[in-house]
Amino acid sequence: MANYDVVVIGAGPGGYVAAIRAAQLGFKTLCIEKGVNKFGKPAFGGTCLNVGCIPSKALLDTSYKFHEAAHGFDVHGISASKVSIDVPAMIKRKDDVVQQLTGGVGALLKANGVTVAEGAGKLLADKKVQVTRADGSVEVHEAKNVIIAAGSVPVNIPPAPVDQETIVDSTGALEFTSTPKRLGVIGAGVIGLELGSVWARLGAEVVVLEALDTFLPAVDRQIAKEAEKILRKQGLDIRLGARVTGSEVKKGKVTVAYTDAKGEQSETFDKLIVAVGRKPLSADLVAEDSGVKLNERGFIEVDEYCETAVPGVYAVGDLVRGPMLAHKASEEGVMAAERIAGQKASVNYDVIPGVIYTHPEIAWVGQNEEQLKEAGVEYKTGVFPFAASGRALAAGEPAGMVKLIADARTDRILGGHVIGPAAAELVQQVAIAMEFGSSAEDLGLMVFSHPTMSEAVKEAALAVHGHAIHIANKRPRK
């Protein structure tokens, strides 16, 4: 048995960051990781680096480059004939990126003096942590403090049981060796739209079945409607109000039964991706006498600083309330480590951006119009379309808009919503402004480089008060 100041369970974006920060603060730190990647090495970086954020973006970038070469070069006067895609080569590149980054995380843990244990971690009573290795051997460590960061797993549904061959989850969808002729996707959320986009660009006929009647309900309605229009135009067959009731795999294909407003329907696909969300990986993670409480959905109960009912025991990331986002997990990991050190660290949950990496990207931060209406908050909006941006037109990226929402009385920025080129980067500018309590006027007064995509942020801020220069304003200037 060894003694540690801090034991971290999980080496994903919440865990490895927490472990590194704890070590930087002078704590003797142990980080436990049970995951093993497809190459038999520890899955440092968790879902994000191994089967989530990073590999999906690698495939999204490759597929977009192929699609642009095959369909988008002519307008630039570039001729490209017989463009083809080598799917195994694309998958290998994705794997190379993953290996480089996960190896880098391992090197960072070592460089910061973090001890790594391979195996399944479990919190016992009195802040003891059990590690069960793959060979079944068990060791127990004593900890003064514990940070639980075990992450989440895909949700499975009984009507479409995953076999990782014909019916796959988000992990299996990253491993196709060829482009399916017909691809079904259950779920029109972030994961479903991103993975559907990858294979649609490579030539698959993609049908997205979404049980809800509203497209992207968490996204500002104006942005969501624009996104639905663009994605449908790109070829995604998005069917709302389609509730899957069953599936049958036969001769390498899957027939999916579902109901919608027209009644009972069915479609046959070469592959089916189940992307209906994720759930916390909390099973067998904490002993009943550990003192840590789980709610009925399997989330660990924590306070605003991610501390559990047991002093000195924290839980972060997908295991706790809030959005399941890698960057949220990382910030919580840092907060937990710093609070263990006695610092007054916190996370501003009102300014956590969300992104969907379709093309164009969809990104948002803060509140949307629907939330503000429900809360009875008076607000003003400013919208600037990329069709009026010189840089966007020059780049052939005129679709989408930047939308800024500000308090009608104080002018403080309450939310930013973007669909368009570099949306993930542009919304971060709004997030920075919000973090410092900026007003729409403040943002409109800033000097932006010309020509840039980011000028659309400035123009949207100006449009809040009817002062936009490069579009006709809805309200006269006062």
Q: What is the 3-state secondary structure (H, E, C) of the chain?
A: CCEEEEEEECCCCCHHHHHHHHHHCCCCEEEEECCECCCCCECCCHHHHHHCHHHHHHHHHHHHHHHHHHHCCHHHCCCCCCCCCCHHHHHHHHHHHHHHHHHHHHHHHHHCCCEEEECEEEECHHHEEEEECCCCCEEEEEEEEEEECCCEEECCCCCCCCCCCCEECCCHHHCCCCCCCEEEEECCCHHHHHHHHHHHHCCCEEEEEECCCCCCCCCCHHHHHHHHHHHHHCCCEEEECCEEEEEEEECCEEEEEEEECCEEEEEEECEEEECCCEEECCCCCECHHHCCCECCCCCECCCCCCECCCCCEEECHHHCCCCCCHHHHHHHHHHHHHHHCCCCCCCCHHHCCEEECCCCEEEEEECCHHHHHHHCCCEEEEEEEHHHCHHHHHCCCCCCEEEEEEECCCCEEEEEEEEECCHHHHHHHHHHHHHCCCEHHHHHHCCCCCCCCCHHHHHHHHHCCCCCCCCCCCCCCC
Q: Give me the residues paired with residue 167 across strands.
A: 272
At residue 476, the pLDDT reads 52
Q: Answer with the residue of higher pLDDT: 303 or 477.
A: 303
Asked if residue 22 and residue 119 are part of one domain, the reply reads yes
Asked if residue 238 and residue 190 are part of one domain, the reply reads yes
At residue 272, the pLDDT reads 98
**385 in a domain, yes or no?**
yes
In the predicted structure, residue 154 carries a pLDDT above the cut 80:
yes
Long-range contact pairs involving 161-169 (C-beta distance under 8 Å, separation at least 24): 161/247, 162/274, 163/249, 166/249, 166/252, 166/253, 166/254, 166/270, 166/271, 166/272, 167/247, 167/249, 167/254, 167/271, 167/272, 167/274, 168/271, 168/272, 168/273, 168/274, 169/273, 169/274, 169/275
Cα angle: 340, vertex 343, 346; to 5 degrees: 95
Asked if residue 392 and residue 314 are part of one domain, the reply reads no
At residue 478, the pLDDT reads 47
In the predicted structure, residue 90 carries a pLDDT above the cut 60:
yes
Task: Give the residue-averaged pLDDT of 64-70.
Answer: 96
At residue 40, the pLDDT reads 87
CA distance 191 to 214: 17
CA distance 105 to 123: 24
pLDDT tens string 315-331: 999 999 999 999 999 99
Asked if residue 149 and residue 59 are part of one domain, the reply reads yes
**15 in a domain, yes or no?**
yes
Asked if residue 20 and residue 88 are part of one domain, the reply reads yes
**468 in a domain, yes or no?**
no
**159 in a domain, yes or no?**
no
**160 in a domain, yes or no?**
no
Select from 276, 303, 332 the last residue of a domain. Answer: 276
Asked if residue 283 and residue 260 are part of one domain, the reply reads no
pLDDT-based confidence at 475, cuts 50/70/90?
A: low
Catalytic residue flag (residue 450): yes
Asked if residue 238 and residue 127 are part of one domain, the reply reads no
Residue 283 is part of which domain span? 3-154+279-347
Cα angle: 285, vertex 287, 293; to 5 degrees: 80
At residue 191, the pLDDT reads 97
pLDDT-based confidence at 474, cuts 50/70/90?
A: confident
Residue with the two structure tokens 């992207």: 216
pLDDT-based confidence at 39, cuts 50/70/90?
A: confident
Output the domain CATH number for residue 94: 3.50.50.60
Q: Tell how strand 237-240 and strand 278-280 pair up.
A: unpaired
Q: Which of 148, 137, 203 is nearest to 31 (CA)?
A: 148
Asked if residue 121 and residue 13 are part of one domain, the reply reads yes
Quick one: tokens of 16?
A: 């490895």
CA distance 401 to 66: 25
Asked if residue 284 and residue 271 are part of one domain, the reply reads no
Select from 228, 251, 276 the last residue of a domain. Answer: 276
Q: What is the pTM of this model?
A: 0.96
CA distance 171 to 154: 9
Asked if residue 290 and residue 148 are part of one domain, the reply reads yes
Asked if residue 138 and residue 32 are part of one domain, the reply reads yes
Q: Which of 79, 76, 63 is nearest to 397 (CA)?
A: 76
**472 in a domain, yes or no?**
no
pLDDT tens string 232-279: 999 999 999 999 999 999 999 999 999 999 999 999 999 999 999 999
In the predicted structure, residue 204 carries a pLDDT above the cut 70:
yes
In the predicted structure, residue 157 carries a pLDDT above the cut 80:
yes
CB contact at 8 A, 420 and 401: yes
Select from 238, 258, 276 the last residue of a domain. Answer: 276
**147 in a domain, yes or no?**
yes
**293 in a domain, yes or no?**
yes
Q: Which of 40-44, 94-98, 214-218, 336-340 has the lowest mean pLDDT?
A: 40-44
At residue 385, the pLDDT reads 98
Q: Which of 383-392, 400-409, 468-477 has the lowest mean pLDDT?
A: 468-477
Q: How many domains in the chain?
A: 3
Q: Which of 35-44, 175-184, 431-440 has the lowest mean pLDDT?
A: 35-44
CB contact at 8 A, 421 and 453: yes
Output the domain CATH number for residue 404: 3.30.390.30
In the predicted structure, residue 477 carries a pLDDT above the cut 70:
no
Q: Which of 67, 76, 450, 470 is catalytic?
A: 450
Asked if residue 51 and residue 11 are part of one domain, the reply reads yes
